[in-house]
């Protein structure tokens, strides 16, 4: 593609908006904006570190306030519900009118939520503080995913993986920080993590200064679809399939992130701190897999990566409930590496299916992920109360089999990969 290309609104046949093409052509020539990608990924790291802190302090809250598993699940639901409900709304609004400083403002909700959680003495207050932290996440994810794409230089899978890497490592740090800080010093020490939220606010404000010129002349025009693009009916079916695949992936990950600590304590008699370290091992593997999935999708096609990452985890999830402690740790590493590699490919695939609604699609899929995690945690907690935590993992082991639905995903035009 060394020839000069003149793009006009009258002759344009690509399924994207004119400003997006102009930005993409310029960005590909300059390459990814690595400083912006690093900043938004680090902010994702800080955001998800604070979010994962909630699940990591469940044993403390359960013991202090005599909560059952169903009440633990409701805390997760309160946290995830605000994110799930509001993320598509935020994405739809910012598609029409981008807000460069909304990320910094949204992070303030997380800041106050952490402070409230550190002093909460009643169960309803715990639920409110969890919902505030979820609200911060609802504002953060859709617009930050758009910023990652703008800074990608055309390497969309790579940029989404860098963005996801920060979040995955942030999620993995929650159990470690809880083991080192919250367990020894108690619930009031959660207030110390509000300093992380303040750092994130400063970084996101600076990113907003970079983002503001990118959206000043933003205009959308109607364009014709590429002749090889999927029909609207196939797009609808594909989006439904991607939601189902995300359901299988996220519900299984939720089963581990919310209840793996209790599973290890119940089955192997390990201490709370030791169980948090085992959870960190799984979440760290999850982070590495999330990073690898995007570049692999850019190289081999996102459809192939989605096939492998969902079905590929099935043998390991089926074996997990029947092995010992050391083997469980090894299996969770393989599960985390494989199953998390699909996240970037699913999100970018969905963005390419509906290219003029990046914010809304990102919000829907991040929101679905959060919502499934919250609802799944509540349902699995109820199931654990009526059966056992071990039985929960026997049931969840079959979730990756839903990956067979990937056969219904369309082959995208070559230029959109």
How many other β-carbons are positioned within 10 Å of the β-carbon of residue 272? 18
The pLDDT value given to residue 215 = 66
**What whole-number distance in Å separates Cα of residue 96 and Cα of residue 76?**
31
Q: What torsion do the CA atoms of 339, 343, 348, 349 make, to the nearest 10 degrees?
A: 40
Is residue 272 within 8 A of residue 183, CB to CB? The reply is: yes
The pLDDT value given to residue 95 = 73
The pLDDT value given to residue 12 = 37
In order, the DSSP letters of 70-124 are HHHHHHHHHHHHHHHHHHHHHHHHHHHS--TTHHHHHHHHHHHHHHHHHH--SHH
**What whole-number distance in Å separates Cα of residue 68 and Cα of residue 58?**
10
How many other β-carbons are positioned within 10 Å of the β-carbon of residue 415? 12
The pLDDT value given to residue 70 = 80
Domains in the chain and their CATH numbers?
Answer: 23-219+228-410 (1.20.1250.20)
pTM, 2 dp = 0.66
The pair of three-digit structure tokens given for residue 336, joined into one six-digit string: 């985390």
The pLDDT value given to residue 10 = 37
The pLDDT value given to residue 18 = 44
Rg of the chain over Cα atoms, rounded to whole angstroms, equals: 21
Buried b vs exposed e over 279-310: b needs ≥16 C-beta within 10 Å?
bbbbbbbbbbbbbbbbbbbbeebbbebbbbbb
Q: Which residues of the chain have pLDDT under 70?
A: 1-32, 215-229, 358-359, 368-374, 413-417
């Amino acid at each position: 593609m060394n020839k000069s290309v003149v793009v006009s609104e009258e002759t344009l046949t690509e399924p994207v908006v004119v400003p997006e093409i102009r930005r993409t052509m310029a960005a590909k020539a300059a390459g990814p904006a690595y400083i912006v990608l690093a900043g938004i990924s680090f902010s994702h790291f800080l955001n998800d570190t604070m979010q994962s802190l909630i699940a990591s302090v469940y044993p403390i809250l359960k013991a202090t306030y005599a909560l059952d598993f169903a009440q633990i699940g409701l805390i997760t639901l309160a946290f995830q519900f605000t994110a799930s409900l509001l993320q598509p709304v935020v994405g739809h609004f910012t598609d029409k009118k981008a807000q460069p400083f909304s990320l910094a403002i949204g992070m303030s909700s997380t800041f106050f939520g952490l402070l409230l959680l550190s002093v909460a003495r009643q169960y309803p207050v715990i639920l409110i503080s969890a919902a505030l932290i979820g609200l911060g996440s609802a504002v953060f994810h859709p617009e930050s995913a758009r910023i990652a794409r703008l800074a990608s230089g055309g390497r969309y899978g790579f940029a989404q993986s860098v963005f996801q890497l920060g979040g995955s490592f942030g999620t993995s740090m929650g159990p470690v920080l809880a083991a080192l800080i919250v367990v020894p010093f108690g619930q009031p020490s959660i207030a110390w993590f509000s300093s992380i939220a303040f750092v994130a606010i400063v970084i996101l404000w600076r990113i907003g200064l970079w983002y503001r010129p990118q959206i000043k002349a933003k205009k959308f025009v109607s364009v014709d679809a590429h002749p090889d693009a999927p029909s609207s009916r196939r797009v609808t079916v594909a989006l439904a399939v991607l939601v189902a695949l995300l359901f299988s992936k996220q519900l299984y990950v939720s089963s581990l992130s919310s209840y793996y600590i209790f599973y290890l304590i119940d089955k192997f008699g390990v201490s709370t701190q030791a169980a948090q370290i085992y959870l960190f091992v799984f979440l760290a593997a999850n982070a590495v897999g999330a990073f690898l999935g995007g570049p692999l999708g850019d190289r081999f096609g996102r459809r192939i990566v989605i096939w492998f990452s969902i079905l590929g985890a099935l043998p390991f999830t089926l074996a997990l409930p029947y092995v010992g402690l050391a083997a469980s740790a090894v299996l969770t590493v393989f599960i985390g590496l494989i199953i998390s590699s699909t996240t970037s490919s699913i999100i970018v695939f969905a963005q390419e299916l509906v290219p003029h609604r990046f914010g809304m699609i990102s919000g829907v899929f991040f929101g679905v992920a959060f919502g499934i995690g919250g609802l799944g945690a509540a349902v699995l907690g109820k199931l654990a109360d009526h059966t056992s935590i071990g039985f929960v993992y026997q049931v969840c082991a079959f979730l990756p089999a839903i990956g067979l639905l990937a056969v219904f995903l369309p082959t995208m035009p070559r230029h959109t990969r």
